[in-house]
Structure 1
C-alpha cells in the first residue's frame, strides 16, 4: 500500500471515529443497548453494525450522519471560515506591501536616492590606510562553515585579502565540520594565511549545539572578539571584494545609532539552470525592492545572515545570538530593532555567492527560512506589539 493510500485510510478512520464520538456525546447512539432485536452479540454484532452504518440500512447510521453534520456546521465550518478570512486578509496585506515597496523602489531609482543622503559617510583616512591606522576600529571577520570542501579556500582567501590595517582586523574561521579530513584542510589553510602575516584564528567546537547561531555565539566569547568594535559575517560560500570594509564600516563609525550595514548578494551561478535563474529573480526583488524600500523609508528590514557588518555593542545589547529558531539572523535583527537601533542597506556593495543548484537543496533552504520565520513570529509577536521603541512600520513589516 502506498503512503497516500495509507494516509487516506487513516483520515477515513479518524472521520468515522470523530462522527461516532460526536454521536455518543449528544446521546444519538447508545452502545449499551442492542442495535436491533435478535442481533448477534460480540464481534459479529460490531461487524454487522458497522456494515449497516456504511450502507445506510442501520438506524444508527442516520444518527451518526446527522451528528456529523451538526459537528461540521457548528464547529468545523466556522473554524474554516475564520481561517479563510485570515488568509484573505494576509494576502491583501502582502499585495499592499508589494505595491507599496514597488512604488517606493521606483521613486528611489527616479531620484537617485542613496543611503549617504540620510547617514553620514566619509572615508576613514582617504587612500592612505597606514597613515590613519590609529583611527581604524578593530574589526572581527567571522566565517562560519560546515564541511565546506568546495569553497573553504575561496572564502578564507577573500576575508584575508580585505583592505584594512593588519593590526586592526581579525579573521575568525568557525569550523563546525564533522569530517576530520575537511577539518584538517581548513586548519591548514588558516595556518598558511597566518604564516603570511594575517591575524587569523581557527576555532572549532566539540558539538554543533545551536548550529550556526551556536558557532557565532561561541566565537564572540573569545577575548579578542569581545574587544572588537565591529563584526563582519560571511557564510562559507561568500567572497567579499577587497574594499568591502572600506565601503561599509564608515557608516557605523560616523553614525552611532546604526547597528548593521547590509550589503547585496550577487551570484556566480545565476545562469547555470532554470532553477538558479528563477532564484535570482526572487532575490533581485528582495534586494532591489524590499530592502531598498525598507532602507529608504527607515523601516525595518532584516539581516540576511551574511554579507553584513554589525556593531558589537548592538549585538550584546540585543541579547546576542540565540539558537531558538533556524532564522537566527532575523531573530537578532528584530531584537536589535526593538532596542531602537537603525539599519543601513548599501545596494551598490555586492558580495559574490552561490545559489542552490539542485531542487532538493533549494527546498531545504526554503523550508528552513519559512518554518523558522513562522516559529520566530510565534515567539516574538507579543514583544513586537508591546515594545515602546517599535514604530508602526516595524510592526507591519514584522507581521
Structure 2
C-alpha cells in the first residue's frame, strides 16, 4: 500500500513539474518578445495612436459600475467628467448598485456635473441580480454609444484616455482594447508592492502576447469595447465571477482582435488588508478556473498554429497551475517520508523544479519591476530578499486559487464579494470564506513545519527549500492577519 501511495505521489509531482516547465518556457518566450518591444520603445500600435488623425469621432458611452464605494465614487465621477472628447459625443452612465450612502454621494456629484452641461446620468437598479455583469448589461441597454469605456470605482483615467484609445478602432475587427493600470498606493506595504509587481508582470507579458498575436486574459476596467462586438457575443455573463475574462475569451474565439496600450495608464487603488486580498484572489481563482474549463472545448476546436494554441492553454490554465502548486505543498510531507529520491526521475524532477522556480522568479521579478515602474536605485541584498518574499507570497495565493478551484468544481460560481480597496477592509461583516482561508493558512504553515521536521528525521532534504519557502509565505500572511485583527480591536 505504501509503495502504491509513493508511486502516485511521485507521478503527480512529476506531472505538475512538467506542466510548470511548459508554462515557464512559454512565458519566457513572451517575456523576450516584450523585451524587444521595450527596446523599440514604440510598437506599431503605439505609433498609430500617436500619429492617428480621426476625421469622424464615434459616440462613446462611459460606464461606471459602482457598489458601496463611498470612499472613491466622487473622484471617479470627477475623472470621468474630465475626459476630453469632441463635444456632444460622450455620455457618462453611473451604474449604481449601492445599498449605502454611496448612492447619495453619487447623486449629488452627478447632478453637479449635469448642471455644468455634462451628459451624465445616474442609473439605479431595484436589485443586484447578476452583480457587476448584470449591472453592465442593464447599463448598455440604456446607452447610446458605439463604444463602451469602462472604469471600476477605484479607477482614475487620464483626461486624454478616449483621444488615445478610440482611434485604434479604425480596424473594424478590433473588438476591445485594454490599457495600462498604475497603483497609487503601491508603496503602502509589502502586500501592496507585491500586488503592484504581480499586476505589473502581467501587463509586461501582455505586451509580448499582443505583439505576437497570442491569446491574452485582460482586465475588465480601463478598457474600451466595441458595441457591435459586445452585442454579437451576448454581453457579459453573470454565470461567472470573472465576467470580464469570460467576455474576453469569447471575443478572441469569435475572431475579434484585441489591442493593448500600455502607455495609456489609469490609476487605481489596491486592497491594503490581507482579508480583502485573500477574498479577492479566491474569487479570481474561482472565476478564472471556471472560465478556463468553460471555454476549453471551444479553444481546442479553433484552428490555430501550435504555438498559439500552447499560449492559449498557458493563459487559460495558468490559474489551474497555481492551484496545483498547492498540491505540491500537500505532497511534500508524504514524498519526504516515502521517497528518498533514489530514482533518477525524481532526483532530476526535483532539481528541475527548483531550477524552473529560480528562472521563473528572476524573469517574473524583472518583468514585474518593469511593468510596475519600480526603477529605484538597486540594492542587491535588499532586492534579493524582496524577490524571495515576492516568490514566497505566490504560495498562499496557490492556496486561495486551490480553494477557488474546488468551489468552482462544486458549482459555486456566483458567490460574489466586492473587494474593498485601500485601508477600508471589511469593517462590518467579513465574508465567511475569509475564515476558511485563514484556517487553511494556519494549517498549511504547521503542516510545512512538520514536513521540515520529517526531512531532518529522514535525512531527506530535497524538498526542504519548498517547505521553508511555504513557511515564509504563509508566515507573512498570518502575521498580517494578526496585525489586522489588532487594528480592528482598537477601532
* 1:231 matched to 2:148: yes
Map 1:262-301 → 2, pairs under 5 A: 262-288=178-204, 290-301=205-216
* 1:88 matched to 2:88: no
**8 A Cα contact 2:65 2:94, kept in partner:** yes
**8 A Cα contact 1:339 1:389, kept in partner:** no
Q: What's 2:109 paired with?
A: 189
1:397 to 312, 315, 318: 315
Q: What's 1:341 paired with?
A: 256
Query: How far apart in 2 are the matches of 1:389 and 1:99?
Result: 21
Query: How far apart in 1 are the matches of 2:229 and 2:16?
Result: 36
* 1:360 matched to 2:360: no
Q: What's 2:59 paired with?
A: 138
RMSD (Å) for aligned C-alpha atoms: 2.1
How many residues are matched?
A: 314
**8 A Cα contact 2:217 2:315, kept in partner:** no
Map 1:177-216 → 2, pairs under 5 A: 177-179=98-100, 181-216=101-136
**8 A Cα contact 1:166 1:199, kept in partner:** no
TM-score (norm 2): 0.60
* 1:258 matched to 2:179: no
Equivalent residue of 1:167, what SS?
A: coil
Uncovered stretches (5+) of structure 2, i.e. residues with no partner: 318-491
Query: How far apart in 1 are the matches of 2:16 and 2:256?
Result: 32
Cα displacement (A) at 1:73: 6.2
Cα displacement (A) at 1:116: 2.5
2:265 to 350, 354, 358: 350
Which has more radius of gyration?
1
- Give the 3 Å change call, closer, same or farther, for CA 117–176 of structure 1 in structure 2: closer
1:114 to 43, 49, 58: 43
Map 1:2-151 → 2, pairs under 5 A: 69=1, 80=9, 82-116=11-45, 122-125=51-54, 135-151=56-72
1:161 to 82, 97, 119: 82
Query: How far apart in 2 are the matches of 1:207 and 1:280?
Result: 34
Cα displacement (A) at 1:85: 3.8
Listed one character per residue, the Cα deviations across residues 276-318 of structure 1 (whole Å, up to 9, x for unaligned) are 1121111221112x11111111111122110011111111112
Uncovered stretches (5+) of structure 1, i.e. residues with no partner: 1-68, 126-131
- Give the 3 Å change call, closer, same or farther, for CA 234–274 of structure 1 in structure 2: same
- Give the 3 Å change call, closer, same or farther, for CA 138–114 of structure 1 in structure 2: same
Greater share of helix residues, 1 or 2?
A: 2
Equivalent residue of 1:166, what SS?
A: coil
TM-score (norm 1): 0.74
Which structure carries more relative contact order (alpha carbon 8 Å, separation 6+)? 2
Query: How far apart in 1 are the matches of 2:232 and 2:191?
Result: 40
